[in-house]
Amino acid sequence: MAKKEIKMYSLSEMKDEVIGKIGTPERDQYEYELSMELLGRMIKTARKERNLTQNQLGELVGVKKSQISKLESSANSATIDTVIKVFKALKAEISFNVKIENQSLQVS
């Protein structure tokens, strides 16, 4: 009896198959949600490194603790202005990388 060979897939191939190819609405939504989750984790990590509570960070930024909690759990509802204020309050340097038609723009 012959062994059946197991096909190996890369992560990129799996994303294409399960979520959709790059450029499809499903894939764009997935990538957006992943980015927002990572942003929330960065905020939480920076806050904890500064030994601040959510309430203390909220006071520095001028928002309620619940807003900081929402940012940390999923930054989907955050405006860029709020995100910038949060990182400034955390004394964290931020930069944006924007890719436009195969050109990469770096903004710090």
What's residue 104's pLDDT?
Answer: 62
Of residues 106 and 14, more confidence is placed in 14
pLDDT at position 56 is 96
> Out of 29-33, 97-101, 103-107, which region has the weakest mean confidence (pLDDT)?
103-107
Print burial letters for 60-69: b (CB count within 10 Å at least 16), e (below 16). bbebeeebbe
Predicted confidence band of residue 89 (pLDDT cuts 50, 70, 90)? very high
Question: pLDDT, tens digit, for every residue of 1-48?
Answer: 677 888 898 988 899 999 999 999 998 888 888 888 888 999 999 999
Mean per-residue pLDDT over the chain, rounded: 86
Into which CATH architecture does domain 12-107 fall? Orthogonal Bundle (1.10)
Ordered by start, the domain boundaries in the chain are 12-107
Mean predicted confidence (pLDDT) in 60-70: 91
| pTM, rounded to two decimals | 0.70
Q: Per residue in 19-36, is it b (16+ CB within 10 Å) or e — as a string?
A: eeeeeeeeeeeeeeeeeb
Query: Exposed, middle or buried: residue 71 (CB in 10 Å: 0-12, 13-18, 19+)?
Result: buried
Give the pLDDT confidence score for residue 103 in this predicted structure.
65
Q: Tell me, what DSSP letter sits at residue 64?
A: -
Across the strands, what pairs with 97?
Answer: 106
Q: Which of 28, 29, 38 is nearest to 73 (CA)?
A: 38
